[in-house]
Amino acid sequence: MCQKAAQEWRIIMGILTRFKDIMSANINALLDKCEDPEKMIDQYMRNLESDLGKVKAETASVMAEETRCKRELDECTADVAKYQSYAEKALQAGNEADARTFLEKKQQLVSKQATLQQTYNIAADNAAKMRQMHDKLCKDIQSLEARRDAVKAKVAAAKAQERINKVGSSVNSVGTSMDAFGKMEAKANKMLDEANAMAELNQSGRDNTVENLKDKYTVSSPAVDDELAAIKAKMGM
């Protein structure tokens, strides 16, 4: 039984060491090293839950051992009282030899009782320690669950911010495109203005030619006509 108890104790201490390492670890530093913090922390919690299951089983085993030791001690104590009663009744009946036999049996039981009392004390102490450790581990897991929820919330916020950053980058790209589009539009307007100006100049040239041709056939002024008639008369024309 002592060997089994020692083995169980080594298992429990190993589990407690893992709990201590996790509780004292810088969780944020560990998460920085992994690609998926949510998966990592979920795996931590699964491992802890598995360890807690082992602690519960060992605690139940130790508590059962305490109960068994208590039952044996109570039975032995009852037997001691019983043989004490038998010895007293034998003496009352005048049977000293029987009384001696009962007292001898009682002495054997008293020796056994002392051993059982010692065993029970150890079992009760172990059970108390196991219950304390079990309760502490449950509390620690609750604390880690709260920290897990906080970490998951931060991861979700980080992912949301990444999406916002991507959208912002796209918006900035659109703004750059708008600037480039504006420059192209300004260049197109300039080209159109230059073409319109050239068309206007070309049209002005054609208008001047037409005006010159019209002047060719335009009737002269009256003074010129009178002078031209006088010359023709003189010349007999």
pLDDT band at 85 (very low <50, low <70, confident <90, very high): very high
Could you tell me which residues come within 8 angstroms of residue 130 by beta carbon, excluding any fewer than 6 positions away?
12, 55, 58, 59, 62, 63
109 against 201, higher pLDDT: 109
- pLDDT > 70? residue 84: yes
| Per-residue three-class SS string for 174-203 | HHHHHHHHHHHHHHHHHHHHHHHHHHHHHH
Q: What is the mean pLDDT of residues 112-137?
A: 91
Could you report the per-residue pLDDT of 218-236, keeping only the tens digit for each?
555 567 677 767 777 777 7
pLDDT tens string 145-175: 887 787 777 777 777 787 777 776 665 665 5
- Is 64 within 8 Å of 5 (Cβ atoms)? no
Q: How is the chain split into domains, by residue range?
A: 2-174
Helices 2-24 & 37-92, crossing angle to 10 degrees?
Answer: 150
Q: Which of 4-13, 86-95, 113-122 has the lowest mean pLDDT?
A: 4-13
Distances (CA, A) of 50 to 9, 31, 107, 141: 17, 21, 48, 11
Task: Taking residues 68-85, report their average pLDDT.
Answer: 95
Structure confidence at residue 2 (pLDDT): 46
Where do the H-state alpha helices sit in the chain?
2-24, 27-32, 37-92, 96-216, 222-234
Is residue 30 scored above 70 in pLDDT?
A: no
Sequence-separated (6 or more) residues with CB below 8 Å from residue 53? none
Read off the DSSP letter of residue 34: S
Q: What is the dihedral of CA 195, 197, 202, 205, to 10 degrees?
A: -170
Contact by Cβ (8 Å): 37, 31: yes
CA-to-CA distance for 237 and 229, rounded, in angstroms? 9
- CA separation, residue 191 to residues 182, 184, 199, 201 (Å): 14, 11, 12, 15
Mean pLDDT, the chain, whole residue set: 77
Q: Which CATH number fits domain 2-174: 2.40.160, 1.10.3470, 1.10.10, 1.10.287?
A: 1.10.287
